[in-house]
Amino acid sequence: MDLGIAGRTAIVCASSRGLGKACAHSLAQAGVNVIINGRDEATLAATADDIAADTDVEITPVAADVSTAEGQRALLAAAPEPDILVNNNGGPPRKDYKELTRDAMVDGVVMNMVTPIELIQAVIDPMVERKFGRIVNITSASVKRPLTGLDLSSGARAGLTAFLSGVARQVAASNVTMNHILPGAFDTDRLRSGLEATASMLGKPLDEFSAERMAEIPTGRFGYPDEFGKACAFLCSVHAGYITGQNLLIDGGAFHGSF
């Protein structure tokens, strides 16, 4: 399917690895010039080379922490008026809610709620003027199914979802859409490191523990990052102009609910 976005420009935050990288790669395969982002320059450069080798578009790496004002300025300097914005960022580490300090809570809300809102504020007006814009926010399945120890991450991402629910409707008539993708367990470095840490804590072999986790998912496996990237690219396409303010849960059926 031709997504109808070849030649457009996208900023994909936190895209040097994992699901962000998959989104950047899928957009590049659709002909979009992509600004990719990460904090590790070596990893970011390798990702830029990987995507460039598979596509014919311009890949611009920007090494920066997107949660900071300086990092956001660097991204926007590379693409002052992007057609597509994919918001993504790491979340606060797992911690019991009783142990969270005020500073930790503020940092978590800045990472997973304030930062995407600031970037949207910076890019939305030109999108409205051009009558085209696609904004996708990578949140988490924990918005619908909270996980113990990730209360801060879940709360901040849920706050972002509620904040943008009304905003999405304000700009919909200008062909600017805002949607959220809620990933479950995807086969990424982050998932593997988490599995290793938990398996070690429980004293179980990693393969055994991973199999137990997969058995809890109706599809019987972890998600492939490319599946996630393709879904993101579709939401950024010309074919998704009638989809806005929605939460796309991609978790292999792990969340037991109809809505």
Average pLDDT over residues 176-205: 93
pLDDT at residue 97 in the model? 92
Q: Tell me the residue type at 153.
A: S
User: What pLDDT, in 10s, does the model give residues 226-252?
Assistant: 999 999 999 999 999 999 999 999 999
CATH of 9-186+224-250, one of 2.60.120.280, 3.40.50.1100, 3.40.50.720, 3.30.420.40: 3.40.50.720
Range scoring the smallest mean pLDDT among 107-121, 194-208, 216-230 = 194-208
3-state secondary structure the chain: CCCCCCCCEEEECCCCCHHHHHHHHHHHHCCCEEEEEECCHHHHHHHHHHHHHHCCCCEEEEECCCCCHHHHHHHHHHCCCCCEEEECCCCCCCCCHHHCCHHHHHHHHHHHHHHHHHHHHHHHHHHHHHCCEEEEEECCHHHCCCCCCCHHHHHHHHHHHHHHHHHHHHHHHHCEEEEEEEECCECCHHHHHHHHHHHHHHCCCHHHHHHHHHHCCCCCCCECHHHHHHHHHHHCCHHHCCCCCCEEEECCCCCCCCC
9 and 82 Cβ atoms separated by less than 8 Å: yes
Angle at 22 between CA 20 and CA 27, to 5 degrees: 100
User: What pLDDT, in 10s, does the model give residues 122-173?
Assistant: 999 999 999 999 999 999 999 998 888 889 999 999 999 999 999 999 999 9
User: What pLDDT, in 10s, does the model give residues 52-95?
Assistant: 999 999 999 999 999 999 999 999 999 999 999 999 998 888 88
